[in-house]
Structure 1
């Protein structure tokens, strides 16, 4: 069941007050985030499980000129949190005005008065409020004064240190989606609407669905074995290129182009999800379309093998 999404923290229905809520950005909803949510639920299994998150990510407001870095957008985050058993997601609009809210006001006006939370959890390094003036220690004291329970949850770690969205971004940028999947607990996906392209893929014998990366992080440019899930729930193996298509386009805008195996139909305008299994090779320029066509054929064969092997190991 999908969690209920509440976008206006100032008008939360009375019937959803009284939750236990985890606080954070939850970009990626990785294993560390799952640990936070599950620890909260174990502490207060008697209360509806909720999350307080922010949209857009504060980094998008404070660093608008930086390249997109999001692992998950709002709809993807909601689905991932729902899979963890979260019943309510309070998605607070993080704009210029909200960024100036003092930590004291956030605890009292938002968490206590508006949302009516009974228990709050956050990571030990969580900071909030104007100029990051609030932290877990402050929140523990203030929650006690406001008659809310509180728990600071230590980060989930492995031999490399704490699980984090930053770690996963580095893995994707290094062309290691299989390692990113281990830390996410699922394959990393790009969600978007299929757009019209130059249709050069048809000329090569490999028609592609074109999807803008938008606010998603751009992983390492290259060719990937992928699974594409359509809006009707059906899934197809495929091969995808992420990059600027140097042989045929020389464009500056990086995009995702994916060829679906054994699919016939019109995908234009559909919202699809493209999950990255493994990077097959970096993007490169070829000496003409024939050389490119031959390489795409080899890429497609290798992608089929990768997907078949993974399916066979399940």
Structure 2
């Protein structure tokens, strides 16, 4: 929603502000601090869509760790009843830090607490920081609570660190920093049907906005309509099937029969199996997929019996 179209709200008294990409453990600490100031009815999380860097410096905009839909779901899961996503566009970008806070106080006249992380910046050219926020709080009569970053193994928990872990296929570390399994979500679309021809039908995913791990073959768990399946994922160009194919992400669900087209799948608990490669024949590819499936079962079934 446009910041300039917001109407007065006399219910909200406490606001946490941030991008909150990934909603990792550090972000969750901010949410806990917010809720400690009031209750679910007078607390609000204010975030931005798209990520500010998409507008400010598109070439530096990071891939998202969670989609907007995931963020909404997780915020409610963490006890936040009121969520507001401000449309970050050129007009909002040019708003000064003082004008933003003055406008915020006008929209939420009972505002008494703002909660942010210590690296929070806002306003035109990122002129506002936590010190400015505290000074403006004296003028506008609200308190500023600054939540220091949490650390893990001596380093701060941050979205950039999580992205690095995923790119390095260190899914265990990524999950530790997030506080839950890293998930990729997408909607099943039509593919070439090549997997079905060799006995391993795959669900091709579209509308995936989250950061993907490097190309390769992975074992994983797949959630579909609240049921959990094992899966083997290929993220790559399928060189055995098609020369210079486009980059795709596809998953074969073990022990599943049915039509998944148009359905949403959530992939998590990734296990790197191997790099993608071109095989001499479809028979050789099929033989390798059988090995991938066996290794996936050997890894997951002792931990998650089905």
* TM norm structure 2: 0.91
Q: Which runs of 5+ in 2 are unaligned?
A: none
Distance 1:92 1:272 in 2: 28
- In structure 2, the residue matched to 1:248 is 241
Matched, 1:176 2:170: yes
- In structure 2, the residue matched to 1:11 is 6
Q: Which runs of 5+ in 1 are unaligned?
A: 1-6
Would the aligned equivalents of 2:51 and 2:61 in 1 still touch at CA under 8 Å? no
Among 182, 186, 195, the alignment partner of 1:188 is 182
Q: 1:46 to 1:193 in 2, by over 3 A?
A: closer
Q: 1:115 to 1:290 in 2, by over 3 A?
A: farther
Shift of 1:22: 1.3
- In structure 1, the residue matched to 2:295 is 302
Among 217, 220, 245, the alignment partner of 2:214 is 220
Would the aligned equivalents of 2:188 and 2:265 in 1 still touch at CA under 8 Å? yes
Would the aligned equivalents of 1:177 and 1:279 in 2 still touch at CA under 8 Å? no
RMSD: 2.1
Once structures 1 and 2 are overlaid, which stretch shifts more, 277-286 or 73-82?
277-286
Q: How does 1:23-172 map to 2 (within 5 A)?
A: 23-45=17-39, 48-65=42-59, 69-109=63-103, 111-116=104-109, 117-172=111-166
Among 200, 204, 219, the alignment partner of 1:206 is 200
For the residue of structure 2 that corresponds to 1:205, the secondary structure is coil
Shift of 1:65: 4.3
Distance 1:66 1:202 in 2: 39
Shift of 1:160: 4.0
For the residue of structure 1 that corresponds to 2:255, the secondary structure is coil
Q: 1:107 to 1:250 in 2, by over 3 A?
A: farther
Would the aligned equivalents of 2:184 and 2:208 in 1 still touch at CA under 8 Å? no
Distance 1:227 1:13 in 2: 45
Would the aligned equivalents of 1:238 and 1:304 in 2 still touch at CA under 8 Å? no
Q: 1:185 to 1:251 in 2, by over 3 A?
A: farther
- In structure 1, the residue matched to 2:284 is 291
Would the aligned equivalents of 2:24 and 2:179 in 1 still touch at CA under 8 Å? yes
- In structure 2, the residue matched to 1:272 is 265
Shift of 1:47: 6.3
* TM norm structure 1: 0.89
